[in-house]
Amino acid sequence: MAEILGIGCTHGPHLQFLDESMPSILRRHLERDTTPAEQKDMRNWPAPMREEWGDDEGLSAAKKHRQVLVDGFRKARQALDDFKPDLVLIWGDDQYENFHEDLVPPFAIYAMECFDTEPFKPSAVMGKPDNVWGQPFDVVVPVAGHPEAATLLTGKLIECGFDVACSFGFHHAKTANHAFVRTILYLDYDRKGFDYPVVPFHVNCYGSDLFRNARHNVPFSAPPSPPPWRCYDLGKAVAQILRESPYRVAVIGSSSWSHAFLTRKHNYLHPDVEADRQRLEEIRDGKLRQWRDLDPDEIRNSGQHEILNWVCLAGAMEGRQAQVLAYSETYIFNSSKAVVLFPV
């Protein structure tokens, strides 16, 4: 049977941009007229948040945040190179990039010979566009796909009862969306090249919050995300199909966890650090099957929408022990972030 390597990581924008830009999402929140006055008063912030902000508006914390995560990505990349996969499958979300009101599938596999990426494209939420590599913003990098594996996987999933869409091109987007692009970018942080064929696997993580996240007003609510149990079972089925395939595959669940701008329980000031700590503890204790029973309402209340990408990974890695390569907890950089390895 074919072997499968598992990686969990972040695709948050912070590592792409300069240290001084990292608190930009928080700064924009504090500058809004709609932000309550009590949130703008730092005396009301949690003590760890004030400490992280410090007297340099988070610059020292940003350097530490970056270093911890980059070290984790370098270890994950070394494991990937040692494994030598035939292809890399990435579970990632779409934030009103390729899928709009006319079509939002719960799951979709991209079966493309090749697709373009814009790895150094500026981010609206980060403000300043300068990237840490000093690259031009309009660079287009082609990435090889693997349509044979993608269509095989789609067909087998449908036979198993998972109604997964298969896309042979982009719908609204011209290039791959950020979840897939930054995953590749960070695994190639040292810019030595990334030659592995990639199969992007879309998960509708934002569900009924999709249009809110896009700041796009529509007269109806979007349908919800697929529930955690469905994501977990899908991941488990994907692993079984891949084990019986001729391909040696690395599967990646890509996202940060709680996002400040989605965390309703904290009025969008800071992420749900406590919920993220619980997820980390479950990883370390090998209790990822518990993620199948996560409550969708609690996920949304904690701003952990994107963790559904990791729930797919958890299903694929059922019964395997993870190695936490990096974890950087934060109140001021929008989301705590992790890099995790499931070795063969």
Any idea what the CATH number is for the domain that residue 262 is in?
3.40.830.10
Mean pLDDT, residues 229-249 taken together: 98
Residue 335 pLDDT > 60: yes
Integer Cα distance of 96 and 222 in angstroms: 12
pLDDT tens by residue, 154-165: 999 999 999 999
pLDDT, mean over the chain = 95
Report the pLDDT value the prediction gives residue 217, as an integer from 0 to 100: 64
- Residue 219: the pLDDT is 67
- pLDDT (mean) for 75-102: 96
Going by C-alpha positions, the residue among 248, 227, 186 that lies closest to residue 2 is 248
Tell me whether residue 336 is in a domain. yes
Domain count, the chain: 1
Question: Per the domain annotation, does 312 fall within a domain?
Answer: yes
pLDDT of 210: 82
Range name among 65-79, 127-141, 201-215, 233-247 with the lowest pLDDT average:
201-215
Distances (CA, A) of 259 to 95, 108, 190: 13, 24, 27
Q: What is the DSSP letter of 118?
A: -
Mean pLDDT, to the nearest integer, of 266-285?
Answer: 97
Closest alpha carbon to 250 in 156, 117, 343, 147: 343
- pLDDT of 5-16, one tens digit each? 999 999 999 999
User: In which band, very low, low, confident or very high, does the pLDDT at 26 lie, cut at 50, 70 and 90?
Assistant: very high
Task: Output the pLDDT for position 215.
Answer: 56
pTM of the model: 0.97
Mean pLDDT of 225-248: 98
Q: What is the DSSP string of 258-301?
A: S-GGG-GGGTTSS--HHHHHHHHHHHHTT-GGGGGG--HHHHHH
Q: Which residue has the higher pLDDT, 173 or 125?
A: 173
pLDDT recorded at residue 125: 84
User: Is 23 inside any structural domain?
Assistant: no
3-state secondary structure of 224: coil
In a domain, 300, yes or no: yes
In a domain, 39, yes or no: no
Q: According to the model, what pLDDT value does residue 212 have?
A: 67
pLDDT of residue 185: 98
The strand ranges marked E within 112-260 are 114-117, 141-144, 165-167, 198-203, 249-254
Report yes or no on 146 lying in a domain: yes
Q: What tens digit of pLDDT does each residue of 165-221 get?
A: 999 999 999 999 999 999 999 999 999 999 999 999 999 999 988 876 555 566 677
- Domain membership of residue 33 (yes or no) is no
In a domain, 243, yes or no: yes
Question: What value does the mean pLDDT take over residues 275-302?
Answer: 97
CA distance 50 to 65: 16
Query: What pLDDT is stored for residue 79 in this prediction?
Result: 98
- Domain, as residue range, for 164: 4-11+66-120+129-342
